[in-house]
Each structure stands twice: as C-alpha cells, then as structure tokens.
Structure 1
Amino acid sequence: MILDCHCHAGKGDGFTGPWDTAAPLHSYLRRAAKAGINRTVLFSVLTSDYAAANREVARIIAAKPERFFGFAFVHAARDKGRILPMVRQAVEEFGFVGIKAHRNDAPISREICEAARAFSLPVLYDVTGEVSVCELLAEEYPDVNFIIPHLGSFGDDWRAQVALIDHLARHANIYTDTAGVRRFDLLAEAARRAGAEKILFGSDGPWLHPGVELAKVYALGLPPADEALILGGNLLRLVGQAAS
C-alpha cells in the first residue's frame, strides 16, 4: 500500500499564490491513481480561518473516507486559546489523525504540541528552513512525533536540509517527508544516516505531481522492507493511535 502523507485540499482566501488560493484534487487523484497511490493525507491550504478550512477538508474526506486521512491545520497565533477544542473537534467529529502547522503563519507553540500530546497525534510542521527548532521540540516533547516536510526546506536550502539530517539521526521523534526535495543526494543521505524508518513519502499535491515525487523514493534503490516503510509503513505507525 502506498500512502501520500502530504496533500492540500480546498480553498483559501489569500491570493498570493496557489498555496493560499485553491487546491483542486481532480488532477491529483487521476495522477495518484496512475501512480498506484492508495490513500492520501489531506489538509487545507494556507488561509485566514482554519476552523472553516478544516470543515471543508472534512467534507471532502467524508465523500471518500476509504481514500483519505485528515490532518487539522491550526495557526499558532491566530488560533491561540482554541487549538485544543479545534483539534478535539477534528479528532472526535471529523476523524482526523494529525495536526498541520506552518512557520509562514507563526512559529509552532506549546499549545499545538500539547494538543498533539493529548490526542496522540503527529504534527506535520513546515519549518521553512528554520530547522534548529527541532532540537527544542525533541527535548521538550519527546512523546510527540514531528514530521518536518521537504527535508526541512521547500526553498531548497541545502544548509537547512543537511542540518535536518542530523536531527533525524539523533532524535527519535523527528521525521521528514520527501515532498519537493530536489537535492536527491541529500534524500539518499537522510536514508543512509537516519534510516528509512524516519522518512515518509509525501507529494505536496495537488501542485506537485505525485507520480514524479514517488519516483524519487523508487530511485533510492532501497531494500523492499525499507521502501515499504517510506511508502506507507511509517505513516501508519505514526497515526496508529489516533486512527485506532
């Protein structure tokens, strides 16, 4: 089974780029089916109202519950004081199995981490290159699993990506995904140093082609058991408690 841990869905209201405007899934789903991807984690685009955006994602998932997982998107600053009830609704009403946060919104907060702890959820936190926060997260919340997408930098900052590999190797609760990683040798180095058990396949759909992103995992040439971890085993392990 192939699971994509990183795909946006729904509409935003920012209009600065696709990432806060709209994430239609029709082309993604066609491409994912052709690539053999079985299930996908969905979360919203960047927007001004994540409570409403999470409800929109929940409606998309409810139409095909066997096809999607959901992560609740939260804003550390704007949602301050209500993150726990937002996450509770996402888990108990929508059936979501993780939390998503983005440094472009605000730095991650204790409130987010404690909500993740309360519901045994992984947090997919885009650090936008500021990977040093992983040291603090690993020390302060060793019982919370953090997925740092794009090997630490969608902007292809190789310094950040090299630094994240060190965090992956040293901290049991720091993971990464493959979405948008263009420096293939660094992805291979992450697999070598940290192990396949610390890497998840992600596409950053619908804007990146899931088949192209998946090809990078196959190109690593890993043993079948390790490849299977990246393609889905690791995600299932991380969301297991929340999904059970």
Structure 2
Amino acid sequence: MVIDNHCHAGPGDGLSGPWDSDAGLGDYLRRARAAGIDRSVLFAAFHSDYAVANRAVARLVAAAPQRFFGFAFVHAARDRGRILAMVREAVEQHGFVGIKAHRFDARISGEVCEAARAFGLPVLYDPAGEVAVAELLARQYPDVDFILPHLGSFADNWAAQLALIDHLVRHPNIYTDSAGVRRFDLLRDAVRRAGAHKVLFGSDGPWLHPGLELEKIRLLALPEGDEELILGGNFLRLIGQG
C-alpha cells in the first residue's frame, strides 16, 4: 500500500496564495490514482479558524474513510487553551490519527505536544527551517513522535536540511517526509544515514504533483522492504496500525 503522508484539503480563507485558499482534490486524486497511490493523509490549508477547517476535512475523510486519514491542524498561539479540546473532537468524533502544526502560524508549543501525548498521536510540525527544535522535542517529549516534513525546509535551506539529517540519526522519535525535497542527494543521504524507517513519503498535494514526488522515492532504488517502509509502513506504525 502506498500512502501519501502529506496532503492539504478543504477551505482556506486567507486568499494570499494557494496555501490559504481552497485546496480542491480533483486533480490531485486523478494524479494520485494514476501514480498508484492508495491512501492519503489530509489536513487543512492555512485558515483563520482551524476548528472550522478541521471539520471540513473531517467531512472529506468521512466520505471516503478507506481512502483518507485525517490530521487535526492547530495554531499553537491562536488556539492556546483549546488545543486539547480541538484534538479530542478530532480524535473522538472524526477518527483523526495525528496533529499538524506549522511554524508560519506559530512555533510549536508544549500544549500541542501534551495533546499529542494524551491521545498517543504523531505530530507533523513544519519548522520552516528552524530544525534545532528537534533537539528540544526529542529530549522533552521522547514518548511523542514528530515528523518534520520537507527534510526540515520547504524553502530548500540546504544547511537546515543537512542539520535535520543529524537529528534523524540521533533521535528515535524524530522523522521526516520527502514532500517537496528538491536536493535529491540530501534525501538519499537521509535514508542512508538515518535509515528507511525514519523517512515517510509525502507529496504536499494538491499543489505538488504526487506522481512526481513518488518517483523520487522510486529513484532511490532501495531494497523492496525499505521502500515499503517509506511508502506506507512507517506511517502505519506511527499511528499504531502497522
């Protein structure tokens, strides 16, 4: 089974760019089917109220529960004081299996991590290049699994991506995904140094082509077992289904 660990969906209301506008799945799903992607993890686009956005994602997941997993998007600063309640709703009412947060909203907080710990969820936190946070997360929350996507920097910050590889090697609960990683040799080095069990396949759909992102994993030419870990096995293990 091929699982895309990283796909935005549903309404955005900022209208400053695709990232906070409506994220429709039509083209993405057509491309994903053609590429052989079986399931996708959905979370909201940037939004002014993630409680509203998460419910919209929940409707998408509920309409195709064998196709989608859901992650609850939270804003560490704006949602302060209600994050546990938001995550509880996402898990108990909508069946979500993880938490999403982004540095462009706010730096991750202890409240986010405590909610993840309370429900046994992985956290997909985009540090936007501030990868030193991995050291703090690993030490203070060793029982919570963190996925720092884009090898730590969607902006192609070579130094940040190189530094994240060291964190992947040293910390058992720090992971990454392949979404949008343009420096192929760094992606290869992450797998070689940290192991295939520390990298997940992601596309950053619907804005990046899932078939193109999947081909990067194929081009690593890994042993079959290692490729299967990246393409779905690692994700299922992190959510307790592997």
Give the match for residue 37 of structure 1.
37
Q: 1-side partners of 2:145 and 2:208: how far apart?
A: 25
- Residue 150 of structure 1 pairs with residue 150 of structure 2: yes
- Unaligned stretches of 5+ residues in structure 1: none
1:195-210 → structure 2 map (5 Å cutoff)? 195-210=195-210
Deviations 1:105-159 (A, max 9, x none): 0000000000000000000000000000000000000000000000000000000
Instruction: Using the TM superposition, give the Cα deviation of residue 11 of structure 1 relative to its aligned residue in structure 2, in angstroms.
Output: 1.2
Give the match for residue 186 of structure 1.
186
Give the match for residue 237 of structure 1.
237
Give the match for residue 163 of structure 1.
163
- Residue 226 of structure 1 pairs with residue 226 of structure 2: yes
Give the match for residue 175 of structure 1.
175
TM-score between both structures, scaled by the size of structure 1: 0.98
- Unaligned stretches of 5+ residues in structure 2: none
Q: 2-side partners of 1:97 and 1:131: how far apart?
A: 24
Instruction: Using the TM superposition, give the Cα deviation of residue 15 of structure 1 relative to its aligned residue in structure 2, in angstroms.
Output: 1.1
Give the match for residue 49 of structure 1.
49
Give the match for residue 64 of structure 1.
64
Q: Which of structure 1's runs of 4+ aligned residues deviate more than 4 A? A: none
Q: What secondary structure is seen at the aligned counterpart in 2 of 1:77?
A: coil
Q: 2-side partners of 1:225 and 1:104: how far apart?
A: 35
TM-score between both structures, scaled by the size of structure 2: 0.99
Q: 2-side partners of 1:203 and 1:124: how far apart?
A: 14
Give the match for residue 78 of structure 2.
78
Q: 2-side partners of 1:221 and 1:106: how far apart?
A: 37
Deviations 1:152-208 (A, max 9, x none): 000000000000000000000000000000000000000000000000000000000
Q: 1-side partners of 2:13 and 2:198: how far apart?
A: 34
AA of the residue aligned to 2:110: R
Q: Give the RMSD, CA atoms, in angstroms.
A: 0.8
Give the match for residue 97 of structure 1.
97
AA of the residue aligned to 2:9: A
How many percent identity over aligned positions? 72
Q: What secondary structure is seen at the aligned counterpart in 2 of 1:23?
A: coil
Q: 2-side partners of 1:47 and 1:93: how far apart?
A: 21
Q: What secondary structure is seen at the aligned counterpart in 1 of 2:9?
A: strand
How many pairs were matched up? 242
Q: 2-side partners of 1:181 and 1:52: how far apart?
A: 30
- Residue 11 of structure 1 pairs with residue 11 of structure 2: yes
AA of the residue aligned to 1:204: D
AA of the residue aligned to 1:177: D
